[in-house]
Amino acid sequence: MNPAAVVTGLGTTAPETVVTNEMVARGLDTSDEWIRTRTGIRERRVVTSGTATSDLAVDAGRNALKSAGLDEVGALVLATTTPDHPCPATAPTVAYGLGLGEIPAFDVSAVCSGFLYGLASGAGLIAAGVADTVLVVAAEAFTTIIDPTDRNTAPIFGDGAGAVVLRAGKTSEAGALLGLDLHSNGSMAELIMTPAGGSRQRSSGRVAEPHEHFMGMQGRTVFVNAVMKMEQSSRTALAATGWETGDVDWLIGHQANARILSAVAERLEIPAERAYINLDRYGNTAGASIPLALGGAADEGLLTAGHRVLLTAFGGGATWGAVTLRWPEIVPVV
């Protein structure tokens, strides 16, 4: 039987600069009150000039390796929407920055579901015998693709990174990834899109307008689909694990909007207090939000060894998914 992938370390990081709702709202037709009541966000962390995704990824990766008590791994997977450059991938830069040698390293692009896709990719590398240990990092300098004058997106996003170390082990061990359910639907690609910078715009022979380098989002449609798909995928992952929704100790969902997380919890009949939320402090950090939430929940002493955890996300692509695991005995470095 193929080895299971077992979480054996967790690290996170966030830029020091805090931007409050009042600061975002300046010059925009919005308010602290609207942002708080419609999203649950109070403030977010943002990168300052000169900091790129790989810088956040190296910090989070170093913390995860420390948490795992390791100084080397067999492979690195980086989930990001904001690579340092369109070419090449950012993962080799991160592996180099961490001094990990000439290990396999590649990017995964699944926007807000990126961490879940990264976990599945890491588990696949372990099952295929490519590596016994894999560093899975999700890092986003997301505000670098946000138009500060667009009230549909500017209040929502923030920057940060989180990482876990996976090792080969058994499904009976705490930390083993149990149910993994992933999906996509490209007919929803335009719901969350940065129009310029890719082959479609470049091959049209047209120079992109500056605003086309920013991400646009059709929030209301994303909201409706996010609730529906996260519920469906959670049910599939739970069924594959042999758990009922009532068995879940912590629902750690993608931190997009507090109302989305409450609606998913309600549909799954998971009490609201078991749906962890830290988006009030970080905003929507896209792929990085789930590991940042895991780090927050563990650091606050809420998430402890043995807890049954359900992770779920919906994001650009559209992509979505869910993963279950029993929380391992680890000390996160946050």
Spatial distance between the Cα atoms of 192 and 184, rounded to a whole number of angstroms: 13
Q: Is 232 in the site for ligand ACO (CB under 6 A)?
A: no
Rg (CA), the chain: 19
CB–CB of 319/182 below 8 Å? yes
- How is the chain split among helix, strand and coil, in percent rounded to 5? 40, 25, 35
In terms of Cβ atoms closer than 10 Å to its own Cβ (0-12, 13-18, 19+), residue 74 is: buried
Distance in Å, CB of 64 to ligand ACO, minimum = 23
Annotated catalytic residue within 63, 257, 278, 284: 284
Q: Is 219 in the site for ligand ACO (CB under 6 A)?
A: yes
Q: Which of 126, 192, 290, 293 binds ligand ACO (CB under 6 A)?
A: 192
Q: Of 29 and 102, which has the nearer Cβ to ligand ACO? A: 29
Q: Is 222 in the site for ligand ACO (CB under 6 A)?
A: yes
To the query of whether residue 254 is one of the catalytic residues in this protein, the response is: yes
Q: Of 192 and 298, which has the nearer Cβ to ligand ACO? A: 192
Count of C-beta atoms within a 10 Å radius of residue 316 = 24
Residue 320 host element (H or E) = strand 319-326
To the query of whether residue 284 is one of the catalytic residues in this protein, the response is: yes
Using CB under 6 A, which residues numbered 1 to 60 contact ligand ACO?
30, 34, 38-39
Count of C-beta atoms within a 10 Å radius of residue 164 = 35
Nearest to 111 by CA among 291, 213, 254: 254
For residue 271, give the 3-state DSSP assignment: coil
Q: Of 66 and 259, which has the nearer Cβ to ligand ACO? A: 259
* CA-to-CA dists, residue 64 to 13, 31, 264, angstroms: 10, 37, 29
Annotated catalytic residue within 21, 63, 254, 257: 254
Q: Is 183 in the site for ligand ACO (CB under 6 A)?
A: no
Distance in Å, CB of 126 to ligand ACO, minimum = 27
To the query of whether residue 278 is one of the catalytic residues in this protein, the response is: no
Of 60-68, 158-166, 199-207, 255-263, the window that binds ligand ACO (rule: CB under 6 A) is 255-263
Contact positions vs ligand ACO (CB under 6 A): 30, 34, 38-39, 111-112, 151-152, 155-156, 192, 219-220, 222-223, 226, 256-257, 260, 286, 315-316
Q: Which residues are catalytic?
A: 112, 254, 284
